[in-house]
Amino acid sequence: MKRDPQMTMTNQTGFIMSVAYPAVPAYSRAKRSRESSDRVSRSDAEATIANEQEIRAGLSQHLTRLWRYAVVLSHQRDVADDLVQATCVRALERANQFAPGTRLDRWLFSILHSIWLNEVRSRRVRMGQGFVDADETLVFDGARDTETHIFANQVLHQVQALPEAQRTVVFLAYVEELSYREVAELLEIPIGTVMSRLAAARAKLAASAGSDKMEGSAS
Amino acid sequence: MTDPNRETIRSDEMLVAFLDGELDSNTREQIEHLIESDDAVAERLRFLMSSSLPFRDAFDPLLDKAPKAKLEALLAEISPPVPVVAEQTSGWTRRGFLAAAVGFIAVGVAVDRTFLGVQSSLHADQDGNDWRSVVAQYMSLYTSDTLGRGPVDVAAQTQQLRDVGAKLGLSLTPERVQLPGATLKRAQMLAYDGNALGQITYLDAMQQPMALCIVQSSKGAKAPDSEHRHGMNVVYWSNDTHAFMLIGHESLDDIKAMSDRLRQVLTA
């Protein structure tokens, strides 16, 4: 029973999406640049430089989260390294396009996603490299000690085995804990599409999880 | 006529949004009512609920797996903005330059591991004239500010040189690439035409930027030669595995003397 996401949307006017996150800058200034940026008067160029320093500090703070997202997208660590690097270059280049007061991490995630979509992924497909199975590349060893870890690892693999469009929304909504609206904005897709992808992903995960184990664990 | 909402409200999309707390109170109440009155909906909700897995816990270990130090180094290697104002002569805007840098990386991402080994020689013109031209153009954008005046961080330099050396298949250390009268600033990877290009930057005695650039090249050994580009002196040479160029504002004699030293050390 497939439903048209657009239908869902038009039928659900009056639907208010909760905004779960306050719009505070996500980056601290603790790591701000080595040189002092307390300049009294700033020319445009100086303002740009100051902004780049803030972006740099924010990048530094979010590197591991960006890398994790890149792994979720690409399934490959080395591609993830490169993706994060390209994201840093692009973000610094566009430092003056970042709107102060908005979430820097969201902005960085959207840059990474668009580089993945428009540059890396399409090139890899054209080059006929294709993609490797999640299980093949995601050898995240360790974490074998306890049952919790084994289970966590299973969840990781199940999500990573989802089609890209679905695992992306699952990751952003449930791991990064973005609201539907934030996911939609980051991926530049309608909220209805976010909803239908999540629904499809969860139906798939539910089917493989087996209801016995998970009863009542929703929160 | 049936109410279109009747079907929509019991869709997986709505039930999942209900579980995710994404519905307004009105819609939520409708669904709560449905769960109580309709067993099929309650059953479906229970089924979907079983996919409420500990996603955060599952993905948190990935954060620890991230190569944090390497990523930090990659970030640190990205040059600070090149001041646009005083450097209009080259005709390259900073924006254009950075766009090109992004392009290099994107190409590098795609091509790097597959083609680099195969295509170790540069497909520029015969004597690799093209890459020197690009490097010279690039270097003409540098000012002493680009390279910073802060204290020298030897540990960081050692790591940068090791990374660059690893990419190029050379053993690089601060001692080996140190040049008399010049201050070693940093080492980073760039790319030219999909080929890895190592750049080691210095400030010379006059606090002018200077750089040693290295690419892999199988065109064979070539004795040092010199040229003048973008107001800088260039000495370039190659051995069986690599092509080198030293570019800076110092006199040609000085650049030659320094390149002699590098040539000895880096062939050894």
pLDDT greater than 70 at residue A157 = yes
Residue B71 maps to a domain: yes
Find the CATH number of the domain harbouring A103. 1.10.1740.10
Q: With contact defined as beta carbons under 8 Å apart, do A57 and A23 qualify? A: no
Mean pLDDT across A22-33 = 32
For chain A positions 145-164, those within 8 Å of chain B (CB to CB) are 148, 151-156, 158-159
What's the rounded Cα separation, in Å, for the pair A71 and A84?
10
A202 in the same domain as A173: yes
Task: Find the mean pLDDT for residues A113-142.
Answer: 59
CB contact burial B167-197 (16+ within 10 A = b; e otherwise): bbebebebeebebeebbbbbbbbbbbbbbbb
A157 in Cβ contact with B55 (< 8 Å): no
Q: Domain end: A78, A106, A132, which one?
A: A132
Q: What residues make up the domain containing A188?
A: 144-211
Task: Please state, in angstroms and rounded to a whole number, the distance separating the CA atoms of residues B84 and B78.
Answer: 17
> 3-state DSSP call for residue A64?
helix
In a domain, A16, yes or no: no
Identify the segments of chain B with pLDDT beneath 70. 1-6, 80-129, 149, 192-194, 268
Residue B144's CATH number? 3.30.200.100
User: A189 pLDDT exceeds 50?
Assistant: yes
Nearest to B51 among A34, A175, A206 (CB): A206
Q: Which of B9, B50, B85 to mutate to test the interface with A (most CBs of A within 10 A)?
A: B50
Inform me whether the pLDDT recorded for A22 exceeds 50: no
Q: Please tell me which of A19-33, A117-131, A186-200, B162-176 the model is most confident about, judged by mean pLDDT.
A: A186-200
Q: What is the mean pLDDT of residues A57-85?
A: 92
**Which candidate from A3, A17, A67 shows the least CB-CB separation from B66?**
A67
Give the model's pLDDT for residue A125.
53
CB atoms B61 and A140 under 8 Å: yes
Q: Which of A111, A132, A153 is the last residue of a domain?
A: A132
Cβ atoms of B29 and B20 within 8 Å: the answer is no
Chosen domain end from A92, A107, A132: A132
Instruction: Give the per-residue pLDDT at B108.
Output: 46
A196 → closest Cβ in B13, B83, B108: B13
* Averaged pLDDT, A132-155: 57
Phi, psi of B178 (to 5 degrees): -60, 140
Q: Which range of residues forms the domain containing residue B40?
A: 4-49
Both B33 and B166 in one domain: the answer is no
Check whether A73 has a pLDDT greater than 60: yes
Kindly state whether A7 is in contact with chain B, defined as any CB-CB distance less than 8 angstroms: yes
Asked if residue A31 belongs to a domain, the reply is no
- Distance separating alpha carbons of residues B185 and B154, to the nearest angstrom: 9
- State the Cα–Cα distance between residues B44 and B32, nearest whole angstrom: 13
Give B-chain residues touching A204 at CB under 8 angstroms: 51
Nearest residue on chain A to B104, alpha-carbon basis: A86
The pLDDT of residue A122 is 67
Q: How close does chain A come to B221, measured CA to CA in Å? A: 32
Phi-psi region of B130 (alpha: psi -120 to 50; beta: other; left: phi over 0): alpha
Please tell me whether residues A156 and A115 are part of one structural domain.
no
Contact check, Cβ <8 Å, B105/A200: no
Cβ–Cβ pairs < 8 A, chains A and B:
215
Q: Is the pLDDT of residue A75 over 50?
A: yes
Section A71-93 average pLDDT: 91
What's the pLDDT at B140? Answer: 76
Do A125 and A148 fall into the same domain?
A: no
Count of structural domains within chain A? 2
Task: For residues A161 and A93, state if they share a domain.
Answer: no
pLDDT exceeds 60 at position A40 = no
Q: Hey, of A83, A89, A176, which one would you mutate to test binding to chain B, going by the most B CBs within 10 A of its CB?
A: A89
- Count how many domains chain B has: 2
**pLDDT value, residue B5:** 63
Residue A143: which pLDDT band, with cuts at 50, 70 and 90? Answer: very low
CB B45 within 8 A of CB A216: no
Q: How far apart are CA B37 and CA B41, in angstroms?
A: 9
In a domain, A9, yes or no: no
pLDDT at B99: 56
Q: Do A198 and B16 touch (CB under 8 A)?
A: yes
Instruction: Show the tokens assigned to B170.
Output: 């050379």
